[in-house]
Structure 1
Amino acid sequence: MTPPLRAPAARQTELLNQIVRAGFMSVGDLAAATGVSEITVRRDLAALEKEGAVRRTHGGALGLGHGEADVFDALEPSFAARRRRNAKAKSAIAKAAFTLVRPGQSLAIDTGTTTYEFARECAAMADLSIVTNNARIAGVLAETSNAVYLPAGRLRGGELSIFGSMAVETVMTFNFETCFLGASGISAEGVFDYSTEDAALKRAFMARSSKVVVLCDASKFNHRALVSVGRIDQINTVVCDRMPPARLAQALQDAGVEIIPAEPV
């Protein structure tokens, strides 16, 4: 016997629960997770957006958390707002990541709030060669004895990150011992970012680095954002504020990824 169709309210509640847990989910993933067609998912997402429960994006939906005030922050979060979130965790991650750095090394430091805290730690070390795609991070390092390079490209206001094909081409002329990347999410499927432009720079950093280190707090675990940056077997180390959930930790270990948990103080 064909199972009875669920009422729209029950379907939409299940969709909302899935999105809230993940932060972002694609239409295809929602259809697979709830056992309904993509057409039905799109219809239900339209209803949920009308109620102010989610924000639809190209190909999926974002959870809003605390209403309309969080919509803009979810899509285009300001640097200051993101830096305030999980501040102690980010500081602990930065300090733990800094233990991986040695004088004289060549590093790439990605744009982001956790990587910004990491750059502040690096300011205490001399004789580093650092390429970063964030002018704010470059400013932190500018008064040190380190050699700091900014790639050519377009400057994004507010974030002060540099992006575009010219920036990617510039990065591809360098060689790094280690790159330190931020991430909007990490799961068994890979590392994710909300921005296609920032994801392109991350891939360039990865391609030119002997070692790839991802810095992320626990809010990014099992979270898939809009753009895939790369597979987990393309990274070497994850520095986080606590151990990932068991399944994600096992997937990382199976891929040969070192996990460094740094408990906030």
Structure 2
Amino acid sequence: MKRSNEEVRQRRKQLIDLIKTSGFSDVKTLSHQLGVSEMTIRRDCTVLSEMGQIKQTHGKIEYCEAYEDEAHPTDSIEYIKDRLAKEAARQVKDGDTLFVNTSTSAAQTLRHLTDKRISLLTNNTSVIQMEHHPKSTIVLSGGEIRYPKAALSGDIAVESFSHVRSDVTIIGCSGLDLQTGISTSVIHEAKVNAKIIENSGKLIVIADYRKIGKQSNFTIGAIAAIDLLITDHYSDPKVIDLIEQQGVQVIQVPV
């Protein structure tokens, strides 16, 4: 299966490169260039279109320049993140005490937990606007509000997580790399995230394929601290293998 996923990933990378080089193409041409069936090309193009990497119009296939601008994530990336969040929600049992950090992917998990009674401690103020189970307990950590994310940080936030231990923790990150571990790009959230990881029961990390193998500025935990990594099947299989060798269970969600 891993070998098959790698072949698909490589083929789709070649497909994107061909479209990007020529400016546009069509199913028949790409089928001939890659030596695969037109049905395979159509299937690949459907997936890549949903991911925002290409766009299809009346049989014409074009490269999507907007995909390269991570400051404007595409709806398809949000779709992938939601699929990962839904899988993470499956790991939470009724009655669990849950930690969630300021990651949008981690917070999205809560939208799939409205049928479960949980005790939530978080520094993510976006949870205020979400629907929750009527018997759930929602606690904000307190601390300094940092915009634009409206994240709670500082010593008060760290202290809040110092006296509680979760059953399950769900976090997102900016990077996941063998050398630098779990990392974030936001210095003000680094200490809070580190304390969240330290006091976690089962630690679940949600990271889409863009984060796998990437290094960010501030390390918040070691790869070996992760109990479960939830990612998608576009993640680099070589990096995934190395992560699994650290004793981490990995679920790759098909998208």
**TM-score of the pair, normalised by structure 2:** 0.68
Change in Cα spacing, 1:156 to 1:82, as seen in structure 2 (3 Å) is farther
- Give yes or no for contact 2:110–2:132 (8 Å, CA) kept in 1: no
1:95-149 CA-partner distances (Å, limit 9, x unpaired): 1111101100000011111112111112232x21011111112431457321000
Q: Which amino acid aligns with 1:235?
A: I
Give how far 1:192 is off. Answer: 1.1
Identity %: 21
Partner of 1:165: 155
From 127, 132, 149, give the equivalent of 1:137.
127
Alignment of 1:73-222 (within 5 A): 73=71, 81=72, 84=75, 86-125=77-116, 127-141=117-131, 144-189=134-179, 190-222=181-213
Give how far 1:247 is off. Answer: 2.5
Secondary structure in 2 aligned to 1:209?
coil
- Give yes or no for contact 1:171–1:205 (8 Å, CA) kept in 2: yes
- Give yes or no for contact 2:113–2:133 (8 Å, CA) kept in 1: no
Q: Which amino acid aligns with 1:194?
A: S
Q: Which amino acid aligns with 1:246?
A: P
Give how far 1:229 is off. Answer: 1.3
- Give yes or no for contact 1:180–1:212 (8 Å, CA) kept in 2: yes
Q: How many residues align?
A: 189
Matches of 2:162 and 2:75 in 1, distance apart? 32
Change in Cα spacing, 1:162 to 1:106, as seen in structure 2 (3 Å) is same
Matches of 1:252 and 1:209 in 2, distance apart? 19
Change in Cα spacing, 1:195 to 1:83, as seen in structure 2 (3 Å) is farther
Matches of 1:198 and 1:244 in 2, distance apart? 25
Secondary structure in 2 aligned to 1:213?
strand
Aligned-CA RMSD value: 2.2
- Give yes or no for contact 1:134–1:161 (8 Å, CA) kept in 2: yes
Secondary structure in 2 aligned to 1:107?
strand
Structure 1: state its 5+ residue gaps. Answer: 1-64, 74-80
Change in Cα spacing, 1:85 to 1:169, as seen in structure 2 (3 Å) is farther
Secondary structure in 1 aligned to 2:201?
strand
Q: Which amino acid aligns with 1:140?
A: M
1:38-66 CA-partner distances (Å, limit 9, x unpaired): xxxxxxxxxxxxxxxxxxxxxxxxxxx98
Q: Which amino acid aligns with 2:103?
A: G
Structure 2: state its 5+ residue gaps. Answer: 1-64
Matches of 1:179 and 1:257 in 2, distance apart? 15
- Give yes or no for contact 1:214–1:235 (8 Å, CA) kept in 2: yes
Partner of 1:10: none
